[in-house]
Amino acid sequence: MADFKKIEENLKKEAKRLLEAGEVTVVLAYSKGFDEKHPMPYAAKSVADIKNIVFNEYCNHNMARYLVRYPQGTKIAVAVKAADSRAVIQLIQEEKVKRENLVLLGIPVYGMKNSKTGEVIDSKTTSGLCNPVLYDILLGAEVHGQKIVSPYEVLAEYEAMDKDARWEFWKNQLDKCIRCYACRKACPMCYCDPCFIDQSKPRWADKAPQSPGNMMYHLTRFHHLAGRCIDCGECSRACPVDIPLYLFHKKVAKECEEMFGQAAGMKLEDKPVLVDFRVEDSDKILE
Ligand code: SF4
Ligand code: SF4
């Protein structure tokens, strides 16, 4: 496992330095929750707040989620694991945040765990990367020598299903949805305000947690995240009824990567794949 204590120490040290120097007005990191297994997203705004910062194997939240809550121009330091750094890149590509306003506190890490199940999530629900893709300051030694697992390996069983079985699978899963919207709240790429599902004119779907409305909410959300999901897995972990949303997002991400040769949030110079027309692009998306 990664040296979580060392990372926590370095996180506190850098947060203190940045706040004291006035380089940022807020540091987005983690604080203790009701127990060690449930740390919480935390915004440290003063040196006095630094003592509350923690980092352990349950700090799964994607802190990039909170960047869009601050007015443009706010100087922010944000703790980023691999997937979180991809979210930052994607948000920069989508012009929701500017690179020059951010200090990225990179966290190279493996051995992260799901708070609910205790299972290691490194390669199942997340993108399988250990090191942040982009950072300014690295809070630990880069991780090398871990088994490389394709983020799409977990799709094998799902892909073996035929069309009818997949429809049945998703219908059963989405029927469980209680429409708490925790998936939307946890997702760094779900920032529309208002979300289509909260609009009343036009009213896109029924808000009651019933089959047709659930299907409409999720299929639209899946569609909105096509080419944008950075595979942090937070939506699935946030779901109180354990709907494996990551399967759908990964499947769409895989198809996008195959069609357009680009994974979301991997390079600053990329453009979001579905708003970037290239004559050589595959027409498979129209099928
Ligand atoms: S859809 Fe889920 S896995 Fe993808 S970026 Fe949002 S929270 Fe992360
Ligand atoms: S978190 Fe789960 S139950 Fe809540 S809206 Fe999302 S899929 Fe439905």
pLDDT at 285: 65
> What backbone phi and psi angles, to 5 degrees, belong to 157?
-65, -40
pLDDT at 283: 75
Q: Which ligand 2 atom sits nearest the alpha carbon of residue 178?
A: 3
Distance from Cα 235 to the centre of ligand 1, integer Å: 5
Residues within 6 Å of ligand 2 by CB: 177-183, 238-241, 243
Task: Using alpha carbons only, give the angle 249, 255, 257 rounded to the nearest 5 degrees.
Answer: 100
Is the minimum distance from the CB of 82 to ligand 1 under 6 angstroms?
no
Among the bound ligands, name the one nearest to the CA of residue 181. 2
pTM score: 0.94
Q: Report domain extents, the chain.
A: 4-138, 153-286
Question: Mean pLDDT, consecutive 10-residue segments, the chain of 287 residues?
Answer: 91 98 98 94 98 96 97 97 96 97 96 91 77 96 84 90 95 96 96 90 84 91 94 95 94 92 94 82 71
Q: Of how many residues is the chain composed?
A: 287
Residue whose pair of structure tokens reads 């760094």 in the numeric block: 188
Kind and range of the H or E run holding 105: strand 102-106
Distances in whole angstroms, Cα of residue 97 to Cα of each of 6, 160, 165, 285: 29, 39, 41, 29
Distance from Cα 176 to the centre of ligand 1, integer Å: 19
Among the bound ligands, name the one nearest to the CA of residue 214. 2
Q: Are 59 and 8 in contact (CB under 8 A)?
A: no
Distance from Cα 144 to the centre of ligand 2, integer Å: 35
At residue 36, what is the residue type? E
